[in-house]
Each structure stands twice: as structure tokens, then as C-alpha cells.
């Protein structure tokens, strides 16, 4: 018999935890982007994809530079955009 797969239910972040997460991860994404030009992480829920999209927008605002972000349902990737590239269409 194979064990049943159960979905792990996460506890929602408090407002304070959400703000701290956004601040810390914005800095972390900036660090990765300035070092390698790309950042990729698991984002397998709508909530996590939305959170990482907010971080991508914050990164662009902080760097005063456009970034692309795209998700495939399992991961999200954030990259620095060249001025010659069209903007991404992911909201």
C-alpha cells in the first residue's frame, strides 16, 4: 500500500510577519539579481505566487529598474529586464 498524499495546510502570516517577509525577501532577491541577474524559487500556490509578484514589484521599485517575473505553476523566476525587452504580462 502506498500512503495517501495529504496537502499540507500552512498557517497564514500575520500582518507583521508579512511585512517582515516582504522586506527581507526583497533584499534577498536584490542580492541575487545584482550577483547573477536571476532569482528562482518554488511558488506552488496562488498565495505564494502573489506574494513573490509583490516582491518582484518592490525589487523593481527599489532598484528603479524594470524586472520580469514569470511563474509556471510550480516556480517563479524574477530577472532583471534589459531595456530592449518587452515588459512581462504577468500581473
**Residue 29 within any structural domain of the chain:** no
Range of the domain at 75: 39-83
Considering the chain, what is the average pLDDT of its residues? 87
Per the structure, the count of domains in the chain is: 1
Q: pTM of the full predicted structure? A: 0.79
Model confidence over 42-78: pLDDT tens digits?
999 999 999 999 999 999 999 999 999 999 989 999 9
**Residue 64 within any structural domain of the chain:** yes
**Residue 19 within any structural domain of the chain:** no
**Residue 54 within any structural domain of the chain:** yes
**Residue 76 within any structural domain of the chain:** yes
Q: Are 66 and 81 in contact (CB under 8 A)?
A: yes
Treating both helix axes as pointing N-terminal to C-terminal, what angle do 46-63 and 15-36 enclose, rounded to 10 degrees?
60
**Residue 70 within any structural domain of the chain:** yes
Length of the chain: 91
The pLDDT of residue 73: 86
Amino acid at each position: 500500500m502506498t500512503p495517501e498524499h495529504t496537502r499540507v495546510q500552512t498557517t497564514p502570516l500575520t500582518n507583521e510577519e508579512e511585512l517582515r517577509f516582504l522586506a527581507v525577501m526583497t533584499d534577498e532577491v536584490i542580492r541575487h539579481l545584482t550577483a547573477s541577474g536571476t532569482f528562482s524559487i518554488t511558488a506552488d500556490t496562488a498565495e505564494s505566487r502573489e506574494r513573490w509578484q509583490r516582491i518582484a514589484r518592490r525589487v523593481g521599485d527599489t532598484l528603479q529598474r524594470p524586472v520580469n517575473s514569470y511563474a509556471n505553476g510550480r516556480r517563479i523566476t524574477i530577472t532583471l529586464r534589459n531595456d530592449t525587452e518587452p515588459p512581462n504580462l504577468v500581473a
